[in-house]
Structure 1
Amino acid sequence: MRFKLILAFADDDKTDALLDAARAAGATGATIINNARGEGLKKTRGIFGLEITSARDVLLFLVEEHRCRQILETLAEVGEFDDSPGTGIALQIDVEDAVGVKHQIATLEESFKSHQ
Protein backbone atom coordinates (compact mmCIF):
# COMPACT_ATOMS: atom_id res chain seq x y z
CA MET A 1 0.00 0.00 0.00
CA ARG A 2 1.35 3.42 -0.93
CA PHE A 3 0.93 6.53 1.20
CA LYS A 4 1.21 10.26 0.82
CA LEU A 5 1.65 12.86 3.53
CA ILE A 6 -0.67 15.84 3.42
CA LEU A 7 0.50 18.89 5.33
CA ALA A 8 -2.02 21.65 5.96
CA PHE A 9 -1.12 24.97 7.53
CA ALA A 10 -4.11 26.95 8.80
CA ASP A 11 -5.35 29.30 11.49
CA ASP A 12 -6.10 27.40 14.67
CA ASP A 13 -9.78 28.39 14.58
CA LYS A 14 -10.19 26.26 11.42
CA THR A 15 -8.46 23.13 12.74
CA ASP A 16 -11.56 21.29 13.95
CA ALA A 17 -13.47 21.94 10.71
CA LEU A 18 -10.48 20.79 8.66
CA LEU A 19 -10.08 17.61 10.72
CA ASP A 20 -13.79 16.76 10.37
CA ALA A 21 -13.73 17.44 6.62
CA ALA A 22 -10.58 15.37 6.07
CA ARG A 23 -12.05 12.44 7.96
CA ALA A 24 -15.27 12.67 5.92
CA ALA A 25 -13.13 12.66 2.74
CA GLY A 26 -11.27 9.49 3.76
CA ALA A 27 -8.47 10.42 6.18
CA THR A 28 -8.12 7.89 8.99
CA GLY A 29 -6.33 10.17 11.44
CA ALA A 30 -4.13 13.21 11.87
CA THR A 31 -1.34 14.73 13.91
CA ILE A 32 -1.65 18.38 14.90
CA ILE A 33 1.24 20.66 15.74
CA ASN A 34 -0.02 23.72 17.59
CA ASN A 35 1.28 27.26 17.68
CA ALA A 36 3.23 27.32 14.45
CA ARG A 37 4.00 30.67 12.90
CA GLY A 38 3.71 31.56 9.24
CA GLU A 39 4.47 34.44 6.98
CA GLY A 40 3.05 35.16 3.53
CA LEU A 41 4.10 37.51 0.76
CA LYS A 42 3.66 40.53 2.99
CA LYS A 43 4.03 40.83 6.73
CA THR A 44 0.89 41.98 8.49
CA ARG A 45 1.54 45.04 10.60
CA GLY A 46 -0.71 46.40 13.31
CA ILE A 47 -0.58 49.26 15.73
CA PHE A 48 2.87 50.80 16.26
CA GLY A 49 4.16 48.73 13.32
CA LEU A 50 4.22 45.52 15.33
CA GLU A 51 3.87 42.31 13.38
CA ILE A 52 0.49 40.61 13.76
CA THR A 53 0.49 36.83 13.61
CA SER A 54 -2.40 34.58 14.48
CA ALA A 55 -1.90 31.16 15.96
CA ARG A 56 -1.51 28.54 13.26
CA ASP A 57 -1.68 24.80 13.37
CA VAL A 58 0.10 22.28 11.18
CA LEU A 59 -2.06 19.26 10.37
CA LEU A 60 -0.36 16.10 9.13
CA PHE A 61 -2.36 13.36 7.45
CA LEU A 62 -0.79 10.08 6.35
CA VAL A 63 -3.25 8.91 3.70
CA GLU A 64 -3.56 6.16 1.13
CA GLU A 65 -2.49 7.62 -2.22
CA HIS A 66 -5.82 7.02 -3.99
CA ARG A 67 -7.64 9.15 -1.40
CA CYS A 68 -5.07 11.91 -1.30
CA ARG A 69 -6.36 14.26 -4.00
CA GLN A 70 -9.93 14.22 -2.68
CA ILE A 71 -8.74 14.98 0.85
CA LEU A 72 -6.43 17.76 -0.41
CA GLU A 73 -9.25 19.40 -2.39
CA THR A 74 -11.60 19.10 0.57
CA LEU A 75 -9.07 20.81 2.84
CA ALA A 76 -8.64 23.63 0.32
CA GLU A 77 -12.40 24.14 0.09
CA VAL A 78 -13.17 24.01 3.81
CA GLY A 79 -10.10 26.07 4.71
CA GLU A 80 -10.87 28.59 1.94
CA PHE A 81 -7.19 28.43 0.98
CA ASP A 82 -7.72 29.72 -2.57
CA ASP A 83 -10.29 32.38 -1.64
CA SER A 84 -7.99 34.95 -0.07
CA PRO A 85 -4.31 35.28 0.88
CA GLY A 86 -3.20 34.16 4.31
CA THR A 87 -5.94 31.61 4.94
CA GLY A 88 -3.59 28.64 4.71
CA ILE A 89 -2.07 26.10 2.38
CA ALA A 90 -2.06 22.35 1.94
CA LEU A 91 0.37 20.16 0.06
CA GLN A 92 1.15 16.50 -0.47
CA ILE A 93 4.46 14.65 -0.32
CA ASP A 94 5.22 11.11 -1.46
CA VAL A 95 6.05 8.74 1.39
CA GLU A 96 8.82 6.25 0.66
CA ASP A 97 7.97 3.97 3.57
CA ALA A 98 6.06 4.03 6.86
CA VAL A 99 5.97 1.97 10.03
CA GLY A 100 3.45 2.08 12.85
CA VAL A 101 0.52 2.10 10.44
CA LYS A 102 -0.47 -1.58 10.60
CA HIS A 103 -3.92 -0.83 12.05
CA GLN A 104 -4.52 1.94 9.53
CA ILE A 105 -3.68 -0.44 6.65
CA ALA A 106 -6.09 -3.06 8.01
CA THR A 107 -8.87 -0.47 8.24
CA LEU A 108 -8.19 0.75 4.71
CA GLU A 109 -8.16 -2.79 3.31
CA GLU A 110 -11.54 -3.49 4.91
CA SER A 111 -12.87 -0.26 3.47
CA PHE A 112 -11.67 -1.20 -0.03
CA LYS A 113 -13.22 -4.66 0.24
CA SER A 114 -16.61 -3.23 1.25
CA HIS A 115 -16.60 -0.89 -1.77
CA GLN A 116 -16.00 -3.68 -4.29
Structure 2
Amino acid sequence: MRFKIVMTFVNPEITEKVINTAKKAGATGDVVIPARGSGSSQATFLGVSIVDKTDILLFVVEEHIVNNLLDAISSECKLREPGNGIAVVLNVERVAGLEKQIENIKGKLRDENL
Protein backbone atom coordinates (compact mmCIF):
# COMPACT_ATOMS: atom_id res chain seq x y z
CA MET A 1 0.00 0.00 0.00
CA ARG A 2 1.29 3.46 -0.87
CA PHE A 3 0.54 6.56 1.14
CA LYS A 4 0.87 10.27 0.51
CA ILE A 5 0.67 13.27 2.78
CA VAL A 6 -1.64 16.02 1.62
CA MET A 7 -0.39 19.12 3.41
CA THR A 8 -2.38 22.34 3.33
CA PHE A 9 -1.50 25.77 4.62
CA VAL A 10 -4.81 27.56 5.05
CA ASN A 11 -6.46 30.60 6.53
CA PRO A 12 -7.77 29.48 9.95
CA GLU A 13 -11.23 30.72 8.96
CA ILE A 14 -11.56 27.81 6.51
CA THR A 15 -9.81 25.08 8.52
CA GLU A 16 -13.04 23.26 9.45
CA LYS A 17 -14.30 23.46 5.87
CA VAL A 18 -11.04 21.96 4.57
CA ILE A 19 -11.22 19.14 7.13
CA ASN A 20 -14.86 18.35 6.33
CA THR A 21 -14.18 18.46 2.57
CA ALA A 22 -11.16 16.16 2.95
CA LYS A 23 -13.15 13.66 5.00
CA LYS A 24 -15.93 13.61 2.41
CA ALA A 25 -13.25 12.90 -0.20
CA GLY A 26 -11.90 9.93 1.77
CA ALA A 27 -9.45 11.20 4.39
CA THR A 28 -9.89 9.30 7.64
CA GLY A 29 -8.08 11.69 9.96
CA ASP A 30 -6.17 14.91 10.19
CA VAL A 31 -3.58 16.85 12.14
CA VAL A 32 -3.96 20.60 12.66
CA ILE A 33 -0.90 22.67 13.50
CA PRO A 34 -1.41 26.37 14.29
CA ALA A 35 1.29 28.41 12.56
CA ARG A 36 2.15 31.82 11.21
CA GLY A 37 3.64 32.88 7.95
CA SER A 38 4.05 35.63 5.43
CA GLY A 39 3.02 35.65 1.82
CA SER A 40 4.73 37.17 -1.18
CA SER A 41 3.37 40.62 -0.27
CA GLN A 42 4.46 40.93 3.33
CA ALA A 43 2.84 43.86 5.15
CA THR A 44 4.53 46.04 7.76
CA PHE A 45 3.26 48.36 10.46
CA LEU A 46 5.66 50.95 11.87
CA GLY A 47 8.54 48.98 10.41
CA VAL A 48 7.47 45.68 12.02
CA SER A 49 6.49 42.78 9.77
CA ILE A 50 2.91 41.62 10.15
CA VAL A 51 2.71 37.85 10.05
CA ASP A 52 -0.57 36.15 9.20
CA LYS A 53 -1.97 33.28 11.21
CA THR A 54 -2.29 30.07 9.26
CA ASP A 55 -3.16 26.47 9.97
CA ILE A 56 -1.14 23.57 8.63
CA LEU A 57 -3.37 20.56 8.01
CA LEU A 58 -1.89 17.12 7.38
CA PHE A 59 -3.78 14.19 5.89
CA VAL A 60 -2.04 10.82 5.48
CA VAL A 61 -4.04 9.09 2.76
CA GLU A 62 -3.82 6.12 0.42
CA GLU A 63 -2.52 7.32 -2.93
CA HIS A 64 -5.61 6.37 -4.94
CA ILE A 65 -7.71 9.11 -3.29
CA VAL A 66 -5.15 11.93 -3.53
CA ASN A 67 -6.37 13.45 -6.80
CA ASN A 68 -10.02 13.51 -5.75
CA LEU A 69 -9.11 14.89 -2.33
CA LEU A 70 -6.91 17.63 -3.75
CA ASP A 71 -9.49 18.56 -6.40
CA ALA A 72 -12.25 18.70 -3.76
CA ILE A 73 -10.24 20.88 -1.36
CA SER A 74 -9.10 23.18 -4.15
CA SER A 75 -12.60 23.62 -5.52
CA GLU A 76 -14.78 23.61 -2.38
CA CYS A 77 -12.40 25.73 -0.30
CA LYS A 78 -11.47 28.07 -3.14
CA LEU A 79 -7.72 27.67 -2.82
CA ARG A 80 -7.23 29.50 -6.10
CA GLU A 81 -8.43 32.71 -4.42
CA PRO A 82 -5.60 34.71 -2.84
CA GLY A 83 -5.34 34.39 0.92
CA ASN A 84 -7.19 31.08 1.29
CA GLY A 85 -4.18 28.79 1.19
CA ILE A 86 -2.20 26.23 -0.73
CA ALA A 87 -2.03 22.44 -0.79
CA VAL A 88 0.89 20.15 -1.62
CA VAL A 89 1.32 16.40 -1.84
CA LEU A 90 4.34 14.60 -0.41
CA ASN A 91 5.48 11.00 -0.89
CA VAL A 92 5.65 8.73 2.15
CA GLU A 93 8.50 6.24 2.19
CA ARG A 94 7.34 4.12 5.13
CA VAL A 95 4.52 4.22 7.64
CA ALA A 96 3.95 2.75 11.09
CA GLY A 97 0.93 2.99 13.37
CA LEU A 98 -1.73 2.80 10.67
CA GLU A 99 -2.46 -0.91 10.92
CA LYS A 100 -6.16 -0.42 11.77
CA GLN A 101 -6.62 2.11 8.96
CA ILE A 102 -4.79 -0.15 6.50
CA GLU A 103 -7.19 -3.00 7.25
CA ASN A 104 -10.15 -0.63 6.74
CA ILE A 105 -8.68 0.62 3.45
CA LYS A 106 -8.08 -2.94 2.21
CA GLY A 107 -11.69 -3.84 3.01
CA LYS A 108 -12.98 -0.76 1.20
CA LEU A 109 -10.79 -1.48 -1.82
CA ARG A 110 -12.12 -5.05 -1.95
CA ASP A 111 -15.68 -3.71 -1.82
CA GLU A 112 -14.91 -1.29 -4.64
CA ASN A 113 -13.07 -3.98 -6.63
CA LEU A 114 -9.91 -1.86 -6.94
State the TM-score, normalizing by the size of structure 2. 0.89
Task: Report the Cα distance in structure 2 between the residues aligned to 1:59 and 1:10, rounded to whole angstroms.
Answer: 8
Greater strand content:
2
Q: Which amino acid aligns with 2:106?
A: E
Q: Percent identity?
A: 33
> Which has the higher mean CA deviation after the structures are superposed, 74-83 or 5-14?
74-83
Q: Which amino acid aligns with 1:53?
A: V
Give 1:79's match in structure 2, choosing from 52, 71, 77. Answer: 77
Q: Which amino acid aligns with 1:95?
A: V
1:1-116 correspondence runs (5 A): 1-34=1-34, 36-45=35-44, 48=46, 50-84=48-82, 86-116=83-113
Q: Which amino acid aligns with 1:76?
A: S
Q: Which amino acid aligns with 1:107?
A: N
How many pairs are equivalent? 113
How far has the Cα of 1:15 moved from its partner? 0.8
CA RMSD of aligned residues (A): 1.5
Indicate if the aligned counterparts of 1:43 and 1:51 stay in contact, CA closer than 8 A: yes
Secondary structure class of the residue paired with 2:37? coil
Indicate if the aligned counterparts of 2:38 and 2:52 stay in contact, CA closer than 8 A: no
> Which has the higher mean CA deviation after the structures are superposed, 90-99 or 102-111?
102-111
Indicate if the aligned counterparts of 1:10 and 1:79 stay in contact, CA closer than 8 A: no
Runs of 4+ in structure 1 displaced over 4 angstroms? none
Indicate if the aligned counterparts of 2:7 and 2:87 stay in contact, CA closer than 8 A: yes
Task: Report the Cα distance in structure 2 between the residues aligned to 1:81 and 1:26, rounded to whole angstroms.
Answer: 19
